Amino acid sequence: MPEPKPPSIIVFDVNETLLDITHLEPLFARRFGNPGVMREWFAQLILYSQTLTLSGLYTPFGELGAGTLRMLASTHDVPLTETDIDELKQRMNTLPPHPDVIPALRRLRDAGFRLVTLTNSASTSSPTPLEYAGINDFFEQRFSVEAVQKFKPAPETYHQVAQALSVKTSDLCLLACHLWDTLGAQAAGCRGALVTRPHNALLPASNMLPPDLVSPSLGDLAEQIIQHWGKD
């Protein structure tokens, strides 16, 4: 059997993979008395986004995020104001990049890889989160699941990227810090590269599709991508 064609396009997840969601913690520390509640909020946000997709429903990610915050406030018996919701939205739109992001993006771009993004977040007016973070110009296109109104890891979310770029899914490598995202992308025919940022790890379970490449560092993961799939 011939070796499969290496991917030439790296598709980046955005929230937590490129942009640092710990920027949200001050809101949760102030309102809930514990910055760690942010992780509970984010996990519930992902859970209900996937539940909506499985149920054939769709709510924009930002609206769902605000609703999830209200739900947590209710379950924690914590008062919440519209100012808190506005702060959540403002912080989500101004997340900083992780320190390893710009060097890794520059390294992959210089090695000849095409770079795009795929996010659960809906499109926003300028300045977008990627523009605010100073990394927008690294990407030739930016994709949102709002086009198919299904959240990742639904296969349609990855297929839309391949279709828009006129390539096969096998030409794509999804790079994310969430195993559920790389797993979904691989099931749709893409390659998967996992950066194990804090609070993210491999799942030891049967019938899993392990990522093609794994590293705790985005810089190291970029070097692995170049080594395995770079042009000679």
151-161 pLDDT per residue, tens: 999 999 999 99
Q: Give pLDDT tens digits for 139-180.
A: 999 999 999 999 999 999 999 999 999 999 999 999 999 999
pLDDT band, residue 4 (cuts 50/70/90): confident
Residues 6+ apart with CB under 8 A from 165: 9, 114, 116, 141, 171
Residues 6+ apart with CB under 8 A from 156: 148, 150
SS3 38: helix
As a CATH number, domain 9-19+95-229 is 3.40.50.1000
Q: What order do you get walking across the sheet with 141-144 strand by strand?
A: 141-144, 114-119, 9-12, 172-176, 191-195, 213-215
Alpha-carbon separation of residue 109 from 9, 105, 113, 225 (angstroms):
10, 6, 5, 12
The overall average pLDDT reported for the chain is: 96
pLDDT for 159: 98
Contact between 214 and 202 (Cβ < 8 Å)? yes
Bond prior to 35 in cis (omega within 30° of 0): no
pLDDT for 3: 65
Q: Which of 182, 188, 179 is nearest to 159 (CA)?
A: 188
pLDDT band, residue 125 (cuts 50/70/90): confident
* Average pLDDT of the segment spanning 202-225: 96
The domain segmentation of the chain, as residue ranges, is: 9-19+95-229, 21-92
| Predicted confidence (pLDDT) at residue 123 exceeds the cutoff of 90 | no
Task: Establish whether domains 9-19+95-229 and 21-92 are of one fold.
Answer: no
Q: Give pLDDT tens digits for 193-213.
A: 999 999 999 999 998 999 999
The alpha carbon of residue 4 and the mean position of all alpha carbons in its chain are separated, in whole angstroms, by: 26
How is domain 21-92 classified at the CATH fold level? DNA polymerase; domain 1 (1.10.150)
* Average pLDDT of the segment spanning 72-100: 97
| Predicted confidence (pLDDT) at residue 31 exceeds the cutoff of 70 | yes
In total, the chain counts a number of residues equal to: 232
pLDDT band, residue 2 (cuts 50/70/90): low
* Average pLDDT of the segment spanning 41-68: 98
pLDDT for 188: 98
